[in-house]
Structure 1
Amino acid sequence: MGGPVALDDGPREDEAPPQRPAWKSVLLVLTCTLAMILNTASTNGISIFFPVIGADLDVAEELVQWLVSAFSLSSGCFLLLFGRLADLYGRKKMYVGGTLYMGILHVGCGFTHNITTLFVLRGLQGLGAAAFIPACLGILAHAFPPSRARSAAFATFSAGAPIGGTIGTQLGAVLTQYTTASWRSTFYLLAGISLLCTIGGLLLIDADLLSTETDRRVDWLGAFLVTVGLVFVIFVLSQGSLASNGWKTGYIIALLIVGVLFIALFIAWQYHLEKSQSAPENRHPPPLMKLSMWTRAKGKFAVVQIIAFLQWSSFLTWNFWAQLYYENYLQLSPVHTALRLLPMTIAGLSCNLFVMLVVSRMPLVVLISCGTLLTGLAGLLFAIILPSAPYWAYGFPAAIASVCGADFVFAAGTLFIAKVSLPHEQSLAGGLFQTLTQFGTAFGLAISTIPFDSIANSSESGGGQDGAPLAAYQAAQWTAFGFAMFCTVLAVLFLRGVGAVGTDERRKEEDVEGTSTPGNETVVEKELEVTGT
């Protein structure tokens, strides 16, 4: 209700970013990268000590899975809303508040002795990640205009994911196995990282600037519709295979229908709001997410987002079932499992360094299709794996190849998204990208669980500690392979013609021309010309 909210006087985000010394720019990038490390370690690293938590708190391991699911559920469902709030009211505020909030809850997780309390705290923690991850993408996009520095900043930020995986998985396994506090030690470590993020944000992130939008009202109805819809759908994907009657369980079917209905209503409401903005006496707030964003770059914005969704379905499906294969089928300890996954970290860092060096010269389609092909190779290797073969025959090359798609898609994809988004959309667009990766994780695990359970339940000859035969793990990995191959097909068919999304100094004059008026819609058109779209 009411008209547009007037902006206060002050510097606006369409103005050139403040000049800062090189050392401060480096520390700014490292501060945002540390937040990505925190997010990945908090999301995936917890799973390495599921058996220990289950034994300590006397809970079945399939229920302990909710420690990851609850975090991903709340994080994925609030990314869009918090991304929009960061664009409107301040990315620094969202970053500092989100990291501080997460640190406090990490301490709470370390002190709890009740699994229900732990589930609640993990669910609440996801809100912190939903606040600071979109803010990071907006902070970097504004602090570094299109240039080689922006390419380096986004590639470094992306490198935080494999480092976070190492801290959460490898270091978490060591702390769990060799410290008195056991699994609680990892939560204390993550609380310390959260505090470093908060301090770095306060000291190094530029002061928040006013949004270029003249109407800063929030579409709360749209936020409600999309959040409720995503909560229901992601919950169903996480629990469909665990329900008493599987996917045929009544409440699973009902919640899926309701979730899809809410998302459909959200899309219809966003269409109505975007159309009404041009009306002379419009009294509606701007849409939470303009549907026209999906048509940017002749629809390539949508294609990149879909590839991100399916790529994370493939990568996290491989990672999840590979970890269970090591721990449950081969019955390895958390430390030995972590050691077999350690090459992922080295490969991830190498991938992001490679992206940093070539993103200004290599076409987007080459980067993404090569990355998704390699992730598919990891799934293929585990789909045909022989337990009697040495680790170096299947496990090692799969660990190296698996992260290529994730890192190539994240680094190049977020650069492309930033390039075709306006200044006041950067955190929202980044939040949308992150939402689809979270959604893709739940989707991939849900779909791959179907063939796994089908084979495991129909087989009388068990394999590992959980009784599941080798064929069940292989069937799940065939699913990961299929997701990656479909990503490759999408990239080859629809991303041809997109040039390099990074900026080379040799094209500096052309890039300056394409970004000279960053508050205007023509920026997007000029940027698309630069990328060859």
Structure 2
Amino acid sequence: MSRWQLIGIVATCTLSMILNIANSTAVAIALPTIGRDINIPEYRLQWVVSAYSLSSGCLLLFFGRIADLYGRKLCFNLGIIFMAVFALGCGFAQDEITIDILRGLQGIGGAACIPAAIGILAHAFPPSKARSVAFATFGAGAPVGGAIGSLIGGVLTQLTRPTWRSTFFFTAGLGGLCLIGSFLTIPKDHPSQEADRRIDWLGAFLVTAALTLIIFVLSDGTIAPQGWRTPYIIALIIIGVVFLGLYIAWQYYLERIQDSGRGDASRWTPPPLMRISIWGRDHGRLAVMLCIAFLEWCGFLSWQFWAQLYYQNYENYTPVLTMVRFIPMFITGVLCNVVVALVVGRIPGVILIVFGTALTSVASLLFANIIPSATYWAFGFPAAVVSVFGADFVFSSGTLFVAKVCLPHEQSVGGALFQTLTQLGTSFGLAISTIVYNSTLSKASLQRGVVVNINGTNAPRSAQLVAYKDAMWTGFAFGIAGSVLAAIFLRNIGIIGHRKGPKPDSTSETTALDGSGAPGTSETHSEKRREGQEPHT
């Protein structure tokens, strides 16, 4: 491919990440306006955001496998179409149920296009400095998407006649632009060369059902009629955990069958949706990286969620004034990915990850000690600057590491696994911090002689401040946990990126055929044996 086509591929994939993130941040900043316009109580507003995360997070593994088998460009395009079409639908929604359902359907598009985009980049760029730049640019799509979503979303919500509906029309337009870029730059798909292309439908059902139930419980447990003691909440979390256990056992069984060479003996034993052994790649460091991604998104999204509510509901700022206070976060996010592109091939990955996760936790620490009467430059500005270090360093380093240790025909599945853990982290972090917030709000209000209502709207301001601070302490704990995990288990991870492309080696094969039959992105076999990555044959 020509240099311009490669640049176009990176730009298109990055735009898909921008679109995916903007679909969340643009809606998040418009939540108070949406609630007032179509009468959604504040305690149920989170579902306008959570419905998107629910469907996109639960279907990532399934669509990652589909992309590897039947074409990454096809899966990518279908995902973009889903996001654009249902964004238009959300713009015309008139009630709470309609917008929640449409947001869930829109999330299917995110689940389809993001793993496919990671697979497209991994296939287009073999291990080299160009791959590091490509993945860092793709990672920069997250802060840029956050900036576009918050900036444009805040302006459109406050200054246009359709208010919040304009944000959905805007994201639909971004989807159309991304689709045009895909048709012009991404090469056509080639048939997969895997001998067995059957889909593990049972595994797809088990993992989708399990994640759906778990994420639903995490999102709804705090607002259920009796909270976490509500009977259906208890029942669903038990069923979700059981389904997840069955999925893991089923994948392990299928992997053993495939490795024994008896995979074709029965129509009921297709290749697994996700090989359990993938978690053990690079001596288990991939599993550690996935856990760190989970914890990082727990802390980062908790800080972002509660900071927005603090500005709008406690300080009573408008959406535009709230958006302005997050501008340093978006600028820093882009700069962080530039730094990753420059240094990921020169310094050990553990330094980036420990440094980044620690700084993200500092943002929560600042808000946990915030003084409302103090100037924005004392707490808000430094928190916005340091908040994105962890998310950007972990995302760029993590996706590069996944591409490095996964085999060519499972690049999209590996990317989907990484994205799934970040989505789960988002839901888990918001659920735990919401539990802390609600509990603190009730206790602090009761100490002041006020019994808060279900919406929490009658809570004293002093009690609200204490609750916001405790929620931020929760986010701080998540970030520190990620830093400690990285410092202990990723000490020998080495350099993740590459300064230059691999040199030819007469004693080892430097290329492998990926799922499309083209030169793949795997390391040399000698490198894989040295790092303990060579799969069982």
Q: Normalization by structure 1: what TM-score?
A: 0.93
1:354 aligns with 2:355: no
CA distance in 1, matches of 2:504, 2:477: 40
CA distance in 2, matches of 1:511, 1:183: 57
For residue 67 of structure 2, give the secondary structure of its aligned residue in structure 1.
Answer: helix
Q: Do 1:498 and 1:532's aligned partners in 2 also have CA atoms closer than 8 Å?
A: no
Q: Do 1:297 and 1:528's aligned partners in 2 also have CA atoms closer than 8 Å?
A: no
1:483 aligns with 2:478: yes
1:500 aligns with 2:495: yes
Q: Do 1:151 and 1:502's aligned partners in 2 also have CA atoms closer than 8 Å?
A: yes
For residue 509 of structure 1, give the secondary structure of its aligned residue in structure 2.
Answer: coil
For residue 500 of structure 1, give the secondary structure of its aligned residue in structure 2.
Answer: coil
Q: Do 2:361 and 2:479's aligned partners in 1 also have CA atoms closer than 8 Å?
A: yes
1:369 paired residue among 347, 354, 363: 354
Tell me the residue number matched to 2:426.
Answer: 441
Tell me the residue number matched to 2:367.
Answer: 382
Pick closer, same or farther for the CA change 1:268–1:525 going to 2, 3 Å. farther
CA distance in 2, matches of 1:441, 1:447: 10
Q: Cα RMSD over matched residues?
A: 2.1
Pick closer, same or farther for the CA change 1:518–1:512 going to 2, 3 Å. farther
Write out per-residue CA displacement over residues 423-463 of structure 1, whole angstroms, 9 at most, x where no aligned residue: 11000000010001000000001111122111101122589
Write out per-residue CA displacement over residues 352-371 of structure 1, whole angstroms, 9 at most, x where no aligned residue: 00000000001010010000
Tell me the residue number matched to 1:252.
Answer: 233
1:407 paired residue among 392, 417, 424: 392
Q: Give the aligned residue type for 1:238.
A: S
Write out per-residue CA displacement over residues 9-54 of structure 1, whole angstroms, 9 at most, x where no aligned residue: xxxxxxxxxxx22122111100000000000000232011111111
Q: Do 1:511 and 1:527's aligned partners in 2 also have CA atoms closer than 8 Å?
A: no
Pick closer, same or farther for the CA change 1:425–1:524 going to 2, 3 Å. farther
Q: Do 1:88 and 1:211's aligned partners in 2 also have CA atoms closer than 8 Å?
A: yes
CA distance in 2, matches of 1:418, 1:251: 40
Q: CA deviation at 1:496?
A: 1.0
Pick closer, same or farther for the CA change 1:365–1:387 going to 2, 3 Å. same
For residue 377 of structure 2, give the secondary structure of its aligned residue in structure 1.
Answer: coil
CA distance in 2, matches of 1:218, 1:135: 17
Return 182-191 or 44-53, whichever deviates more: 44-53
Tell me the residue number matched to 2:250.
Answer: 269
CA distance in 2, matches of 1:292, 1:144: 25
Alignment of 1:31-42 (within 5 A): 31-42=12-23
Write out per-residue CA displacement over residues 89-134 of structure 1, whole angstroms, 9 at most, x where no aligned residue: 0000001111012111111111222221111110100100000000
CA distance in 2, matches of 1:477, 1:510: 51
Alignment of 1:213-362 (within 5 A): 213-282=194-263, 283=266, 284-362=269-347
CA distance in 2, matches of 1:146, 1:308: 22
CA distance in 1, matches of 2:131, 2:241: 37
1:395 aligns with 2:376: no
CA distance in 1, matches of 2:132, 2:508: 16
Q: Do 2:222 and 2:434's aligned partners in 1 also have CA atoms closer than 8 Å?
A: yes
Tell me the residue number matched to 1:5.
Answer: none
Q: CA deviation at 1:503?
A: 0.6
> Size of the alignment, in residue pairs?
513
1:187 aligns with 2:182: no
Q: CA deviation at 1:244?
A: 1.2
Q: Give the aligned residue type for 1:329.
A: Y
Write out per-residue CA displacement over residues 265-294 of structure 1, whole angstroms, 9 at most, x where no aligned residue: 000000100011133543210110000001
For residue 145 of structure 1, give the secondary structure of its aligned residue in structure 2.
Answer: coil
Tell me the residue number matched to 1:104.
Answer: 85
Q: Give the aligned residue type for 2:527.
A: K
For residue 469 of structure 1, give the secondary structure of its aligned residue in structure 2.
Answer: helix
2:139 paired residue among 135, 155, 158: 158
Q: Give the aligned residue type for 1:171.
A: I
1:425 aligns with 2:406: no
Q: Do 1:420 and 1:528's aligned partners in 2 also have CA atoms closer than 8 Å?
A: no
CA distance in 1, matches of 2:64, 2:533: 28
Identify unmatched segments of 5+ residues in structure 2: 515-521
Pick closer, same or farther for the CA change 1:476–1:525 going to 2, 3 Å. farther
1:178 paired residue among 156, 159, 166: 159
Write out per-residue CA displacement over residues 136-159 of structure 1, whole angstroms, 9 at most, x where no aligned residue: 000000000001110000000000
1:455 paired residue among 440, 453, 472: 440
Q: Give the aligned residue type for 1:402.
A: S
1:58 aligns with 2:39: yes
Q: Give the aligned residue type for 2:325.
A: R
CA distance in 1, matches of 2:329, 2:506: 37
Q: Do 2:510 and 2:523's aligned partners in 1 also have CA atoms closer than 8 Å?
A: no
Q: Give the aligned residue type for 2:169.
A: Y
Q: CA deviation at 1:169?
A: 1.1
Q: CA deviation at 1:498?
A: 1.4
Tell me the residue number matched to 1:17.
Answer: none
CA distance in 2, matches of 1:524, 1:166: 42
1:117 paired residue among 98, 113, 126: 98
For residue 149 of structure 2, give the secondary structure of its aligned residue in structure 1.
Answer: helix
CA distance in 2, matches of 1:514, 1:396: 52
CA distance in 2, matches of 1:275, 1:532: 18
CA distance in 1, matches of 2:223, 2:199: 37
Q: Do 2:80 and 2:179's aligned partners in 1 also have CA atoms closer than 8 Å?
A: yes
Write out per-residue CA displacement over residues 467-504 of structure 1, whole angstroms, 9 at most, x where no aligned residue: 35211111111111111111011101111111111111
Q: Do 2:127 and 2:502's aligned partners in 1 also have CA atoms closer than 8 Å?
A: no
CA distance in 2, matches of 1:515, 1:503: 18
Q: Normalization by structure 2: what TM-score?
A: 0.92
Q: CA deviation at 1:517?
A: 3.0
Write out per-residue CA displacement over residues 201-229 of structure 1, whole angstroms, 9 at most, x where no aligned residue: 11110111232421110000000000000
Pick closer, same or farther for the CA change 1:36–1:421 going to 2, 3 Å. same
Q: CA deviation at 1:465?
A: 6.2
